[in-house]
């Protein structure tokens, strides 16, 4: 067991790192590690590996360990050992979730990230979900965050009541990623639980600033794959009291985030490849590849934030 399981991830920007693939769908470790280093130089506090943007359901057990170990070694070698690694470990059963957590720890992860089980969606009542997380917390080798993302769990949306109960009863549960976009839920959780032991985190760029105002511990944002510095700048503007500039920047991020969502995971990688010159817009099937050319109305708001990113 972790000797200090109630220490949450530090405040800041976390990139849910995309996983690049070669044409034959094998791991493109060269592009993925280059991407991780660009994130590190962009001022992020950590990386989330094998989340939704990392295509966790498409990765084999050994590939997950290779990714974590390779990225960890790359960060340490290049002087970024302080960056935290949060690793997706969600599975349909308690048994396999614990196996993923053990494998993630062995590969160098600092935290796990666990989705509710979604195969038997109709059976996933609040008591069942709470028991699932509690049983994992009792045996986990890593502290972990709950991952609330109804879009990938058949609509399962964990309530603030459940999150608060789980956190109070299980010290190994040290945070939650709220991709649901519910700022009210985030504020209820953040204002109830001590920041010293629990991190409530926004899960999208498009509500980053409102979430920070509501008590978010930073943001885990897909758009940070494209513009990590800009997310760090948003946090800085708010922290220094320049609310007008923060609101203006948040507006640009919101438009870019909405455009990026229309492209899907492969499109995130396509945007990175187009603007930063590495990787390609390819996912494992059935997701397939992103568009050869991104439509102008989608590309335009992304280009706006990329220009700002490159000016920082």
Tokens of 209: 């600033």
Q: Are 32 and 54 in contact (CB under 8 A)?
A: no
Residue 216 three-state SS = coil
**Within its chain, how far is the Cα of 7 from the centroid?**
18
Question: Is 147 an annotated catalytic residue?
Answer: yes
Tokens of 154: 């058949």
Q: Which long-range contacts (CB under 8 A, 24 or more apart) does 28-32 make?
A: 28/279, 28/280, 29/66, 29/67, 29/70, 31/278, 31/279, 31/280, 32/67, 32/70, 32/71, 32/279
> 220 among the known binding-site residues?
yes
Catalytic residue selected from 72, 105, 177, 282? 177
Q: Are 70 and 62 in contact (CB under 8 A)?
A: no
State residue 9 phi and psi, 5-degree precision. -60, 145
Among 208, 299, 248, 156, smallest CA distance to 14 is for 208
Tokens of 84: 């935290």
If you compute the radius of gyration of the chain from its CA atoms, what whole number of angstroms results? 18
State residue 239 phi and psi, 5-degree precision. -65, -30
Cα–Cα distance measured from residue 232 to residue 224, given in angstroms and rounded to the nearest whole number: 9
Tokens of 197: 């032991």
Question: Is 177 an annotated catalytic residue?
Answer: yes
Residue 130: half-sphere exposure toward Cβ, Cα within 13 Å: 15
First-to-last CA distance in the chain?
A: 42
- The residue whose two tokens read 């990139």 is 15
Tokens of 282: 């390819």
Catalytic residue selected from 147, 185, 229, 282? 147
Q: Catalytic residue numbers?
A: 147, 177
Annotated binding site for pyruvate: 220
Annotated binding site: 220
């Amino acid at each position: 067991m972790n000797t200090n399981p109630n220490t949450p991830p530090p405040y800041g920007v976390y990139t849910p790192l995309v996983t690049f693939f070669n044409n034959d769908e094998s791991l493109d470790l060269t592009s993925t590690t280059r991407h991780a280093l660009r994130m590190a130089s962009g001022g992020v506090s950590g990386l989330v590996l094998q989340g939704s943007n990392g295509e966790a359901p498409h990765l084999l057990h050994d590939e997950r360990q290779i990714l974590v170990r390779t990225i960890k070694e790359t960060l340490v070698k290049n002087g970024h050992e302080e960056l935290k690694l949060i690793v997706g470990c969600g599975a349909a059963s308690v048994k396999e979730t614990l196996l993923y957590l053990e494998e993630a720890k062995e590969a160098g992860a600092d935290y796990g990230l666990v989705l509710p089980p979604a195969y038997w969606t109709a059976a996933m009542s609040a008591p069942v979900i709470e028991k699932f997380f509690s049983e994992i917390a009792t045996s986990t080798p890593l502290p972990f965050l709950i991952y609330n993302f109804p879009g990938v769990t058949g609509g399962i949306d964990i309530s603030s009541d459940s999150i608060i109960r789980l956190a109070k009863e299980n010290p190994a549960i040290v945070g939650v990623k709220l991709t649901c976009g519910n700022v009210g839920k985030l504020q209820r959780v953040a204002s109830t639980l001590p920041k010293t032991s629990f991190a409530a985190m926004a899960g999208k760029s498009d509500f980053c600033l409102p979430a920070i105002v509501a008590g978010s511990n930073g943001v885990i944002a897909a758009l940070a794959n494209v513009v990590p510095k800009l997310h760090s700048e948003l946090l800085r503007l708010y922290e220094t009291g320049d609310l007008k500039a923060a609101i203006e920047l948040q507006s640009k991020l919101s438009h870019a985030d909405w455009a990026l969502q229309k492209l899907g995971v492969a499109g995130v990688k396509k945007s990175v490849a187009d603007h930063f010159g590495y990787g390609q817009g390819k996912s494992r099937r059935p997701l397939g590849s992103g568009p050869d050319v991104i439509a102008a109305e989608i590309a335009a708001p992304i280009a706006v934030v990329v220009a700002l990113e490159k000016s920082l």
